[in-house]
Chains A and B, each alone.
Chain A
Amino acid sequence: MTAVILAMIAALLIPMVEAFQDEDIWQRMLAFASIATKTSVMILAVSVLRDDWMIGVVGVLILSVGNAALMLLAHVIKRLNEVTEG
């Protein structure tokens, strides 16, 4: 199970490198979405590993809230590009 967590950490590093290197704002938003989902799934995996339901509930909440934050931020940035180009 620890090996699974370590593999998840390695997978988490891929979008972090992508977010650091790519200058395009939408590529960074994609990396943000990937990281937000991956961290939430990691919290769920750790909660199963430790058999701790409190952490599990928090993981589910963060998974949904992270997606909501992403939608809000994407909407603001989309409006911003429309104003700039229009």
Chain B
Amino acid sequence: MMDSYVYVIMALLPLSALMLVIQTSPYQALVIRGILGAVAALVYAILGGADVALTEALVGTMLSITLFAVAVRSSLVMRLGVLVAPEPSQESLRQSLLAPLRMVLNRYHLRLELVAYPHPEALQQALQAKEVHGICRVDFPLGEETPARVSSTVIAPDLALTAIPSLPSGAESDGSPAAPPRITLRVPRLYEILTTELPPATAQLQTLNGDRTPLTPPLILMEKY
């Protein structure tokens, strides 16, 4: 005949399992998985399975959480290639891009990892070699075509404050209005997310083969036929 407190302890197990199931963020779920492992070890030990409790604590809690943390850390990331040591005006432009980009990626539980490259050729080569998921260029050549909406007014409003200290250096360099940074993406899903959720004025998006049209219309056509 079991004591009454055993039933109360056993009720903790489905409670913590429910907490784990309704989590959406992977890192929060990892911590809740640790809590579930601790409660499960308690239940197993009290019900007499000392060996099962020990295995649950060693493998279920310690090993699996560590392996899952490493897996989530290396997979849920967007690696963005940037040029190392830009000019101060371009640095402020880049910072104004990274803040909304991080906000959008946080909604999908993705991290943004910046990888610095010394010159534009290395940047392009890294994208071709699939070392990064996308590259960000602030200083693309003036001869390239730019969309008609590019002007100083399209920059995010919070940039106006940060760009004031670096205004003289930017004005004497070329005097032309700053264009938004250009992000070239290799992964179609990232392109879809960023085109739909990133404010259009903060960056100019394109896929690896120079395509600027959204990827969804061909998919809809494929579904129709």
Contact A69 B31 (CB under 8 A): no
Encoded as 1 (CB less than 8 Å from any B CB) or 0, chain A from 34 to 62 comes to 01100110110010000000110111011
**How far apart are A42's CB and chain B's nearest CB, in angstroms?**
6
Please determine whether A36 and B34 come into contact, CB atoms closer than 8 angstroms: yes
Q: Are the C-beta atoms of A72 and B39 separated by less than 8 Å? A: no
Looking at the assembled complex, report how far the CB atom of B176 sits from the nearest CB atom of chain A, in whole angstroms.
32
Tell me the complex Cα distance, A20–B12, Å. Answer: 13
Cross-chain contact of A77 among B8, B46, B69 (Cβ < 8 A): B69
On whether A76 and B9 interact (CB within 8 A), knowing A16-B16, A20-B19, A55-B50, the answer reads no
* CB-defined contacts of A70 to chain B, threshold 8 Å: 34
The answer on a CB contact under 8 Å between B65 and A73 is: yes
Report if A11 contacts B (CB, 8 A). Answer: no
3 tightest A-B CB contacts, nearest first: A69-B62, A39-B42, A76-B69
Encoded as 1 (CB less than 8 Å from any B CB) or 0, chain A from 3 to 43 comes to 00110010010001001100101001101100110011011
Main secondary structure on chain A at its contact with chain B? Answer: helix
Contact across chains for A73 and B50 when beta carbons are under 8 A apart:
no
A39 touching B38, Cβ below 8 Å? yes
Contact partner of B45 (CB less than 8 A), chosen from A59, A72, A79, is A59
Q: Are B39's CB and A73's CB within 8 A?
A: no
Q: Are B3 and A2 in contact (CB under 8 A)?
A: yes
Contact B58 A65 (CB under 8 A): yes
Contact B61 A66 (CB under 8 A): yes
Chain B residues 31 to 54 lying within 8 A of chain A, measured CB to CB, are 31-32, 34-35, 38-39, 41-42, 45-46, 48, 50, 53-54
Note all chain B residues with C-beta closer than 8 A to A28: 28, 31-32
Given A9-B5, A16-B15, A76-B70: A25 touches B35 (CB 8 Å cut-off): no
Count of inter-chain pairs, beta carbons less than 8 A: 115
Inter-subunit contact A39/B39 (CB<8 Å): yes
| With A43-B42, A83-B111: A61-B57 Cβ-Cβ less than 8 Å | yes
Judge whether B30 and A5 touch: CB under 8 Å.
no
- CB neighbours of A16 from chain B (8 A): 12, 15-16, 19, 35
Q: Known contacts A20-B19, A28-B32; decide if A73 and B5 are in contact (CB<8 Å).
A: no
A35 touches B65 (CB 8 A): no
Known: A19-B19, A19-B35, A55-B50. A6 touches B8 (CB 8 A): yes
